[in-house]
């Protein structure tokens, strides 16, 4: 099968690793990687890279993500969500206006201390392995950005929010921090990831749906092309005479003629249609003359050099 990306809708009860293991069995492929861990109790978008697309996993992990969460005020747990042990319950003696203004104050760049019940590694071990033994370690704060918070429903003690944030953000910790600032405490009661970069929940498929699609011989209909990950980059289409050299990863000389520029398909690039006008370091999607995606090239002094190779022969 060809490489590509599956927009998986992870259901509650599965870990992100469970999803990868299940897909290996469905697709009979070993080279699979997911693009961002979701807690077992959470649901939502989990893009999974297949074959050569796994080279794009790290880049996709940096994408902005959006979530819908149910924050329950007045409850504090050891895991910062309602699956954990309750540590304290307090009355929610704050007004709706205070709740709204406090939530709004969290929008912007900030430092966040990751929770003990998380997959973040300290000393080579996941934090949750320490937490399960009752050990709490000092954690270094991560610099994150909360891009936007929209309150969808406010019926105290429950607040339904849509949060858009940078990588490395823990929504459980955001809920707990909001509760601390309000003075009543809070825990995350539910979480759904609705978007990862350009992948959203409207087109995501459950494992059962993917399995049925594969059994029907229609995998190609749901497997997204690798170059979708790089859609924001300008592209270059190489002339037919460069096909053999390009398939071998050869650099492209600046004097080469016949290289056309594309943006989002066939639109002129920001460089005015001539890739040679690009600044050193500018990355380009590169395609062969027949439209096959080759990989990512970077502008250098001599021309273009290969950065990441994704090409595979068409079946």
Say if CB 176 and CB 124 are below 8 A apart. Answer: no
How far is residue 261's CA from residue 269's CA, in Å, rounded to a whole number? Answer: 6
Catalytic residues: 39
How far is residue 286's CA from residue 282's CA, in Å, rounded to a whole number? Answer: 12
Distances (CA, A) of 247 to 30, 99, 240, 243, 289: 24, 58, 11, 6, 12
């Amino acid at each position: 099968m060809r490489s590509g990306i599956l927009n998986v809708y992870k259901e509650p009860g599965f870990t992100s690793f469970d999803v990868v293991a299940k897909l290996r069995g469905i697709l009979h492929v070993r080279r699979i990687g997911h693009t961002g861990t979701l807690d077992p109790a959470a649901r939502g978008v989990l893009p999974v890279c297949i074959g050569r697309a796994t080279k794009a996993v790290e880049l996709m992990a940096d994408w902005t993500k959006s979530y819908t969460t149910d924050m329950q005020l007045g409850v504090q747990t050891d895991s910062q969500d309602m699956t954990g042990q309750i540590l304290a319950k307090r009355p929610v003696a704050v007004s709706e206006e205070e709740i709204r203004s406090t939530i709004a104050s969290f929008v912007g760049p900030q430092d966040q201390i990751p929770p003990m019940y998380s997959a973040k590694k300290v000393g080579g071990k996941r934090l949750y392995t320490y937490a399960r033994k009752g050990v709490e370690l000092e954690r270094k704060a991560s610099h994150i950005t909360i891009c936007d918070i929209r309150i969808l429903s406010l019926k105290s003690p429950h607040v339904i929010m849509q949060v858009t944030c940078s990588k490395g953000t823990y929504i459980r910790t955001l809920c707990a921090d909001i509760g601390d600032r309000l003075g009543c405490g809070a825990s995350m009661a539910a979480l759904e990831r609705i978007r990862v970069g350009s992948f959203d929940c409207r087109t995501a498929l459950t494992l059962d749906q993917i399995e049925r699609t594969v059994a029907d011989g229609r995998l190609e209909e749901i497997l997204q092309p690798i170059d979708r990950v790089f859609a924001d980059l300008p592209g270059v289409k190489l002339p037919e005479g460069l096909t053999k050299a390009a398939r071998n990863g050869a650099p492209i000389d600046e004097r080469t003629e016949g290289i056309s520029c594309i943006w989002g398909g066939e639109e002129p690039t920001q460089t005015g249609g001539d890739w040679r006008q690009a600044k050193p370091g500018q990355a380009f999607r590169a395609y062969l003359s027949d439209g096959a995606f080759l990989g990512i090239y970077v502008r250098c002094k001599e021309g273009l050099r290969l950065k990441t190779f994704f090409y595979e022969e068409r079946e």
